[in-house]
Amino acid sequence: MAKSPAADTVPRHVAIVMDGNGRWARKRFMPRGIGHKAGVDALVKTVQAVSDRGIGYLTVFAFSSENWKRPEEEVSGLMSLLIVALSKHLTKLKSDGVRIRIVGDLANVSEKVRNALLQAQDETVHNSRVVLTVAFNYGGRWDIVQACRQAIEAGVPASELDEAALSRFMAMNYAPDPDLFIRTGGEVRLSNFLLWQSAYAEFYFTDCLWPDFDGVELDKAIASYAQRERRFGDVGASGEGVGAIGSGGSWDEFSGEGA
């Protein structure tokens, strides 16, 4: 069997739950919207940092399927901020070779927001230095369900529907699975982000609030990632523990046959 790969020093694909904008603002006695605005600035810095480090894919959770539950004022503020942020930063992102891709259910998003997102996607289609995927009105469970629906509609027979076949219908079928999954803001949960794709991701949770995130914080996450031994269900390159259970144990003791 091939040796398990050790973690590469730099991940190919980083996914981020950008949490903590509200608390960042509250600490400064400012409205939550200011925290989200600072969150956009942190995202712009992070895209640059990702690009500088040769990371090809960055995926961010900009708006979850559950975020509609927030007060109407905050939801509409986030929508307006998205439009303003895209018009402010798109030219630079384009010239920096960033390709923007959108994943999520855009059917129930306002036409204005949908058009802004799709325009950013279209205008950057020829770029390839960094693929920035913006998950918008996205949920990991939604993604799995939409993939199943598409597979059924495509006429894939149940007997042929395996993991590889379903993967082809997942929203991020153009990208490798995330190697490093970062969540800022101190919470230790996935919140329905990239459930399917993160099966073998390395997780990094930090108390850093999203607006404070930058290249230095990214490097801390990468340093942690670089120390991990990724086994993908195998026993690891060292083979430690194979054939030994406890000290001097053997599998034979468990087979009932003895040595």
Please tell me whether residue 145 adopts helix, strand or coil conformation. helix
- Could you say whether residue 81 binds ligand FPP (CB under 6 A)? yes
Q: Which residue has the tokens 């079928």?
A: 173
Q: Does 75 bind ligand FPP (CB under 6 A)?
A: no
Q: What are phi and psi of 40, to 5 degrees?
A: -65, -45
In the window 46-65, what residues touch ligand FPP (CB under 6 A)? 62-63
Among candidate residues 67, 127, 192, 214, the one labeled active-site is 67
Shortest separation between residue 146's beta carbon and ligand FPP, angstroms = 21
* Bridge-based pairing state of the strands 130-138 and 57-64: parallel
The smaller minimum CB distance to ligand FPP, of residues 11 and 185, is found at 185
Residue in the shown chain whose Cβ atom is closest to ligand FPP? 22
Residue with structure tokens 């390159």? 237
115/250 with CB nearer ligand FPP: 115
Tell me which amino acid residue 148 is.
C
Q: Which is nearer to ligand FPP, 25 or 151 (CB)?
A: 25
CA atoms of 258 and 13, how far apart (whole Å): 47
Q: Name the minimum Å distance from CB 189 to ligand FPP.
A: 12
| DSSP bridge pairs for 203 | 181
Q: Which residue out of 19, 143, 177, 179 is catalytically annotated?
A: 19
Residue 36 in the binding site for ligand FPP (CB under 6 A): yes
Minimum CB–partner distance for residue 177 and ligand FPP (Å) = 22
Angle at alpha carbon of residue 207, lines to 204 and 212, rounded to 5°: 100
Catalytic residue list contains 162: no
List 57, 181, 204, 210, residue binding ligand FPP (CB under 6 A): 210
Beta strand ranges found along 95-199 (DSSP E): 98-103, 130-138, 180-183
Could you tell me the smallest distance in angstroms from the CB atom of residue 164 to ligand FPP? 32
For residues 199 and 206, what is the distance between their CA atoms, to the nearest angstrom? Answer: 20
Nearest-5° Cα angle at 136, 150 to 73 = 135
| Cβ nearer to ligand FPP, comparing 34 with 81 | 81
CB of 233 to ligand FPP, least distance (A): 32
Q: Which of 16, 40, 49, 116 binds ligand FPP (CB under 6 A)?
A: 40
Sequence-distant (≥ 6) Cβ neighbours of residue 140 within 8 angstroms: 190, 192, 193, 194, 195, 196
**Cβ proximity of 166 and 173 under 8 Å:** no
67 is catalytic: yes
Furthest C-alpha separation in the chain: 72
Tell me which residues are annotated as active site. 19, 67
Which residues of this chain interact with ligand FPP, rule CB under 6 A? Answer: 18-23, 36, 39-40, 43, 62-63, 67, 78, 81-82, 85, 185, 210
